[in-house]
Structure 1
Amino acid sequence: MNFRPRHRDEPEINLIPFIDVLLVVLIFLMLSTTYSKFTELQLTLPVADAEQQRNRPKEIIVAVAADGRYAINKAALADTSVTALTQGLSALAQSQPDSVLIISADATAPHQAVISVMEAARRAGLAQITFATQATGKARR
Structure 2
Amino acid sequence: MKFKRTNVEDIQINLTPMIDCLLFILVFLLLTTTFSQSSRINLTLPDAEGVPPKQYDHKVEVMVDSTGHYAVNGQALSSTEVSDLIIAIKQATNHEKDLMFVIAADAKATHQDVIRVMDVAGQLGFVNVNISTKVPARGY
Question: What TM-score, normalized by structure 1, do the two folds share?
Answer: 0.59
Could you say which residue in structure 2 is the equivalent of 1:8? none
**Preserved contact between residue 87 and residue 124 of structure 1 (Cα < 8 Å):** no
Task: Show CA shifts across 1:29-86 (max 9, x none).
Answer: xxxxxxxxxxxxxxxxxx9225122310111111100010100000000121111111
Is the counterpart of residue 72 in structure 1 residue 75 in structure 2?
A: no
Unpaired stretches in structure 2, ≥5 consecutive residues: 1-46
Question: Quick one: distance in 2 between partners of 1:114 and 1:93?
Answer: 19
Aligned amino acid, residue 66 of structure 1: S
> What is residue 60 of structure 1 aligned with on the other side?
60
Q: Report matched runs for 1:26-37 at 5 Å.
A: none
Instruction: Call closer, same or farther: CA 1:135–1:85 in 2, change over 3 Å.
Output: same
Give the Cα–Cα distance (whole angstroms) in 1 for the partners of residues 67 and 117 of structure 2.
14
- For the 8 Å contact 1:68–1:109, the answer to whether it is kept is yes
Q: Does 1:131 align with 2:122?
A: no
Asked whether the equivalents of residues 103 and 130 of structure 2 are also in contact (C-alpha less than 8 Å), the reply is yes
Deviations 1:119-138, CA, capped at 9 Å, x for gaps: 11112221111011110224
Aligned pair count reads 93
Change (3 A) 1:133 1:88: same
The Cα offsets for residues 92-125 of structure 1, whole Å up to 9 and x where unpaired, read as 3335441111100001101110011111111222
* Structure 2 counterpart of 1:98: 98
Taking the TM superposition and a 5 Å limit, the aligned residue runs for 1:33-48 are: 48=48
What are the ranges of 5 or more consecutive residues in structure 1 without an aligned counterpart?
1-46
TM-score by length of 2: 0.60
Alignment check: 8 A CA contact 2:97 2:124 kept: no
**Quick one: which amino acid aligns to residue 59 of structure 1?**
K
Larger Rg: 2
Q: Which runs of 4+ in 1 moved over 4 A?
A: none
Asked if 2 retains the 8 angstrom alpha-carbon contact of 1:102 and 1:130, the reply is yes
